[in-house]
């Protein structure tokens, strides 16, 4: 079972001053939180992708590359990589590169995105969201597994003899989670490929996403990847912890009440009716254990712990409380309740072991080809710079 934190780099006005943090400060605060999570022994840090204000998370590969050098053991992930508005070739190359930098400590979560204006910003139409997600991942899946790809689809130019570089580390691509909260087609896609399915279990009523998780499990078994209970499921969550329950409510209330997504709902109502966990460590533990009861055994639990304007010092307190007071108990309790032989979430080490057994991993050797990413001899290699007449002319 993996436990960690995730976020999307959101910015909101401070509830006492009305002044938001700067983008520069929000980025630096996120780095501090990620490094603290690594040092505290949490398993996963995930950073999302947004291209519209008030978010700063426009470039997860950049952030994760930096964190690969600044952390030692934590698994780095995306809390969303937009499979619809990003070119799958760029995704393949960016995240293979980060995978090398992180020495395998990387996986990614793909999603369609839910912000309408972002689609035309990147030359797409939100009405094509589902078919774009299906087609783009089909190409990404192949780019990471085939050294030379010939491909033709509807939403981008064809590829002929194309090799994405660098090749995945040890010939094993990063593990992929498909994140969705309303789309059966995405759950089906995750099941078809034997990938993970992540339900961002926040904001909606308790267990609102159980039908999609159950559907994914059934289709995972249908496609021959194992039993339904073996399907790889992750859940999002949101928590605010203090030693005493009343202190947690008192300290979190200003941030809750000034956050746009929570308007119209009281903190007490949200804590009771949604997966939001506010209270003492024991209350957060008990709330999280209900997720296992409702969804079945699952492999990854992530919490958002630094929404909007929350000062970084408070976010760092949350990391420490999660790592020392909550996660150790959850590990013990969830393992004790876990059905026999339910697998853990894949990691680079386990995927390499599954692919090669005790043999050494294959070293990817992209072969020269005559396809799209080979330009052929350059026209000026045989020219003489001292003789202008011998230099090629370009229109």
pLDDT for the residue 325: 98
- Give the 3-state DSSP-derived string for 176-220, with helices as H, strands as E and coil as C: EEEECCCCHHHHHHHHHHCCEEEECCCCCCCCCCHHHHHHHHHHH
Residue 394 pLDDT: 39
- Sign, Cα dihedral of 57, 45, 101, 374: negative
Lowest mean pLDDT among 22-36, 100-114, 254-268, 321-335: 254-268
% of the chain with per-residue pLDDT over 70:
92
Q: What is the mean pLDDT of residues 138-156?
A: 97
At residue 258 the predicted structure's pLDDT band, cuts being 50, 70 and 90, is: confident
pLDDT above 50 (res 391): no
Whole-angstrom distance, CA of residue 233 vs CA of residue 230: 9
Q: What is the mean pLDDT of residues 238-255?
A: 96
Cβ-Cβ contacts under 8 Å for 62 (sequence gap 6 or more):
none
Distance CA 228, CA 54 (A): 39
pLDDT at 381: 43
pLDDT at 342: 97
Q: Does the structure show a pLDDT above 80 at 302?
A: yes
Report which secondary-structure segment, H or E, holds 130. Answer: helix 129-145
Model confidence at 380: pLDDT above 90: no
Task: Give the DSSP H/E element, type plus range, for residue 251.
Answer: helix 245-257
Q: Give yes or no for residue 378 having a pLDDT over 50.
A: no
Q: Mean pLDDT over residues 346-370, rounded?
A: 83
Domains assigned to the chain: 2-365 (3.20.20.30)
**pLDDT at residue 385 is higher than 70:** no
263-285 pLDDT, tens per residue? Answer: 888 999 999 999 999 999 999 99
Best CA proximity match to 271, nearest among 254, 282, 259, 283: 283
| pLDDT score, position 377 | 47
State how far the alpha carbon of 387 is from the alpha carbons of 204, 279, 383, 395, in Å.
Answer: 71, 78, 8, 19
Range in 91-95, 247-251, 352-356, 358-362 the model is least confident about: 358-362
pLDDT of residue 201: 80
| Residues shown for the chain | 395
Angle, CA of 131, 63 and 252, to the nearest 5°: 90
The stretch 23-33 carries a mean pLDDT of: 96
pTM over 0.85: yes
pLDDT at position 346 is: 97
């Amino acid at each position: 079972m993996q436990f960690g934190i995730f976020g999307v780099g959101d910015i909101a006005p401070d509830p006492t001053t009305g002044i938001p943090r700067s983008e520069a400060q929000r980025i630096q605060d996120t780095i501090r939180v990620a490094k603290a999570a690594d040092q505290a022994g949490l398993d996963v840090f995930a950073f999302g992708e947004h291209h519209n204000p008030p978010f700063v998370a426009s470039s997860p590969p950049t952030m994760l590359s930096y964190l690969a050098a600044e952390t030692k053991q934590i698994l780095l992930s995306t809390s969303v990589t937009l499979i619809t508005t990003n070119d799958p070739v760029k995704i393949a190359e960016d995240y293979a590169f980060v995978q090398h930098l992180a020495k395998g400590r990387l996986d990614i979560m793909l999603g369609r995105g839910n912000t309408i204006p972002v689609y035309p910003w990147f030359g797409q139409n939100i009405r094509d969201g589902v078919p774009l997600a299906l087609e783009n991942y089909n190409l990404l899946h192949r780019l990471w597994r085939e050294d030379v790809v010939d491909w033709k689809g509807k939403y981008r130019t064809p590829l002929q003899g194309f090799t994405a570089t660098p090749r995945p580390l040890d010939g094993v691509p990063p593990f992929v989670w498909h994140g969705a909260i309303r789309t059966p087609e995405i759950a089906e896609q995750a099941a078809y490929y034997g990938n993970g399915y992540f339900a961002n279990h926040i904001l909606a009523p308790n267990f609102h996403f159980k039908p999609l998780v159950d559907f994914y499990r059934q289709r995972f078994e249908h496609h021959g990847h194992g039993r339904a209970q073996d399907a790889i499921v992750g859940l999002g969550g949101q928590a605010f912890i203090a030693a005493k329950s009343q202190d947690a409510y008192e300290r979190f209330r200003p941030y809750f009440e000034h956050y746009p997504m929570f308007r119209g709902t009281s903190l007490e109502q949200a804590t009771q009716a949604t997966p939001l966990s506010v209270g003492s460590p024991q209350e957060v533990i008990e709330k999280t254990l209900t997720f296992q009861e409702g969804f079945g055994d699952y492999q990854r639990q992530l919490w958002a712990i630094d929404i909007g304007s929350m000062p970084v010092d408070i976010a760092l307190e949350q990391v420490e409380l999660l790592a020392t007071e909550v996660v150790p108990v959850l590990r013990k309790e969830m393992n004790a309740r876990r059905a026999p032989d339910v697998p853990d979430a894949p990691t680079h080490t386990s995927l390499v072991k599954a692919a090669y057994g005790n043999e050494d991993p294959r070293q990817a050797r992209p072969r020269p080809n005559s396809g799209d990413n080979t330009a052929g001899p350059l026209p000026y290699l045989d020219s003489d710079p001292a003789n202008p007449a011998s230099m090629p002319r370009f229109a």
